[in-house]
Amino acid sequence: MSNTVIPEGYKSLLSVKETEHAIVMIKDFFQLALSTELNLTRVTAPMFVERGTGLNDDLNGVERAVAFPVKDMNDKTMEIVHSLAKWKRVKITDMELPPDFGIYTDMNAIRADEELDNIHSLYVDQWDWEKVISAEDRTIDYLKDVVRKIFRCLKRTEFYIYDRYPAITPILPDDITFIHAEDLLAKYPGKTVKEREDLAAKEYGAVFIIGIGAKMKDGTQHDGRAPDYDDWITNTGNGHHGLNGDLLVWNPVLQRAFELSSMGIRVSPETLKAQLAERGATEREKLYFHKRLLAGELALSIGGGIGQSRLCMYFLRKAHIGETQVSTWPADMVDLCSKKGINLL
């Protein structure tokens, strides 16, 4: 229960019924804004993929995927997706989309190894998106341009909700601040990763931390990242590495940094090979996804995920992600939330 934070004096600004209506409004409005801003078309997506193809997201490489045998396929094992990070790249390639066009989809996942708290659930719902880029677009400036477009969608959604629920006043800054994980380490020496994120988010309101998964000068990583989708190894100058990052905002209810999106320019055949070698995972080169990528058969791309329930939680000023999605929680957490006026759906 120590993982559950109850903000002092917390009271939901909306009733359960108003919350349910607002969730629909946010999802409908934001996905339209995102698809328009990034030239994305909606596609359907799988809930599970075949084990052994390399298509599932390995997250930090230690989380177990929920799996099941298929009776009608000689008990072949399927895995519930962690995300669609790699599946999307195959999809945009097979769709033969031109540069600067892409896809988005509703991704629903189960992460059985998640540590449950105010913002982490067994059930993950996000907009997974991916778009084709040219070789010339594999730059830090292109990444920042896409992040700014996503931030504009957040700003528009924030005003849309405020216009309908005036008690939810806008708090996002005019612009998002970019900072490399290496510079964040130098800016806040002696602090933990989460402390650095909290300080940066509180100072700037919205921040994009570049270089997630890259090894920094002190030998640490800001956070883990699988070696086979985001490019975190490319040298971008000034001793910095990484063409990816996390988008964080300051959460005034929980008084902490709040991750809304993880995204990045995807690995090229060359950077995939280098990242697999660095992580001691060269055996993955034999998998379906990795063989296609190393053969140069997959489109160069940029992509990411944007948490749907987290987005709703942030814009509706909720204290617990269970107020914006239906999941399963430990009995003592449910009891505590009930006593403190947190209405888990």
Q: What share of the chain is helix, strand, coil (3-state, %, to 5)?
A: 35, 20, 40
Whether 259 is catalytic is yes
42: burial class by Cβ within 10 Å (0-12, 13-18, 19+)? Answer: middle
| Set 18, 114, 183, 259: catalytic member | 259
| Set 261, 262, 268, 327: catalytic member | 262
Whether 231 is catalytic is no
**Alpha carbon distance 49, 38 (integer Å):** 27
| Set 12, 31, 126, 327: catalytic member | 126
Whether 8 is catalytic is no
| Set 111, 138, 266, 284: catalytic member | 111
Whether 126 is catalytic is yes
Whether 308 is catalytic is no
Whether 182 is catalytic is no
| Set 197, 230, 231, 246: catalytic member | 246
Torsion region of 143: left, alpha or beta (phi above 0 gives left; psi -120 to 50 gives alpha): alpha
93 token code pair: 């390639």
Long-range contacts for 111-117 (Cβ within 8 Å, ≥24 apart)? 111/59, 111/63, 111/82, 112/63, 112/64, 112/66, 113/62, 113/63, 113/64, 114/63, 115/3, 116/3, 116/329, 116/330, 116/333, 117/3, 117/4, 117/5
| Set 12, 31, 57, 275: catalytic member | 57
Residues carrying an active site annotation: 57, 111, 126, 246, 259, 262
